[in-house]
Amino acid sequence: MRILGVDPGLTRCGLGVIDARGGRQVKLIDVDVARSAPELPPHQRLLLISNKLEETLAIFRPDVVAIERVFAQENVRSVTSTAQVAGIVMLAAARRGLPIAFHTPSEVKAAVTGSGRAEKAQVQAMVQRILRLDELPRPKDAADALAIAICHAWRGGAMDFQDTDRAQHGGAGMLPRAEGADLTPAQKMWAQAQRLQARHGAVAPKDKQ
């Protein structure tokens, strides 16, 4: 399964493409950042992001698009622009008939580091280790996009593509495995947290509200 991970942002939008294989193996295919200058009108900035996204989709032809879920923050302007970019990504995926998946920031951190409150540097280091990169992925938006893709690979790698959207709404049959010899300690911890969250109801992480 080829996954495009997207860390939505108007100034910098991270785009990370990985292949997910059997045995929870993931391989880097491409990583990039779509950029737009703050001095441009908003609609022109969105067009630049959209053009880069369309190019990435056309070249790498992912099977699914994983997006970081946007949470309301104190900075209304920032969250609004981020949501606009997420909308562009959703539309681009819909045009190609691709399923989409949303993962919270804490969910992504827990998937790759074992802690939902990990720092950016920890996420970068683990992404480098998981993908066996020679150096840390930069900028941080690129590392976040790859982390989102990895999170989805480890969560939904065994699911049919058409079930990906449905998986976002829970259901015991769609929860990730919490046990298995092929799972790392971080994966087991994350899966257990997902099951606990489904049991008590989803709550946005405090550091992203």
CATH number for the domain including 42? 3.30.420.10
Q: What is the pLDDT of residues 132-175, one digit of tens each?
A: 999 998 888 899 999 999 999 997 543 433 444 444 433 333 44
134 is in an annotated binding site: no
Q: Using CB atoms within 10 Å of the CB of residue 91, give its burial: 0 to 12 exposed, 13 to 18 middle, 19+ buried.
A: exposed
Could you tell me if residue 147 is inside a domain? yes
pLDDT at 179: 62
Q: Is residue 192 part of a domain?
A: no
- Looking at residue 70, its pLDDT comes to 80
Active-site residues: which are they?
A: 7, 68, 141
Mean pLDDT, rounded, for 11-34: 94
56, 30 in Cβ contact below 8 A? Answer: yes
Residue 163: inside a domain: yes
Q: Helical H runs in 132-201?
A: 140-156, 164-167, 185-200
DSSP bridge partners of 34: 13
Q: Is 30 annotated as a binding residue?
A: no
Beta strand 25-35 with 64-68 is unpaired
| Residue 14 maps to a domain | yes
pLDDT band at 19 (very low <50, low <70, confident <90, very high): very high
Q: Is residue 86 part of a domain?
A: yes
DSSP-based three-state secondary structure for 52: helix
Report pLDDT for 156: 59
Expressed as residue numbers, the domain containing 145 is 2-171
The CA distance from 158 to 180, in Å, is 14
Residue 141 among known ligand-binding residues: yes
Tell me the per-residue pLDDT of 105-140, one tens digit each, with 9 for 90 and over: 999 999 999 888 899 899 999 999 999 999 998 888
Let me know if residue 180 belongs to a domain: no
pLDDT of residue 138: 84
Domain tally, the chain: 1
- Kindly state whether residue 154 falls inside one of the protein's structural domains: yes
pTM of structure: 0.75
Helices and strands, number each (H, E), in the chain: 7, 5
* Structural domain includes residue 178: no
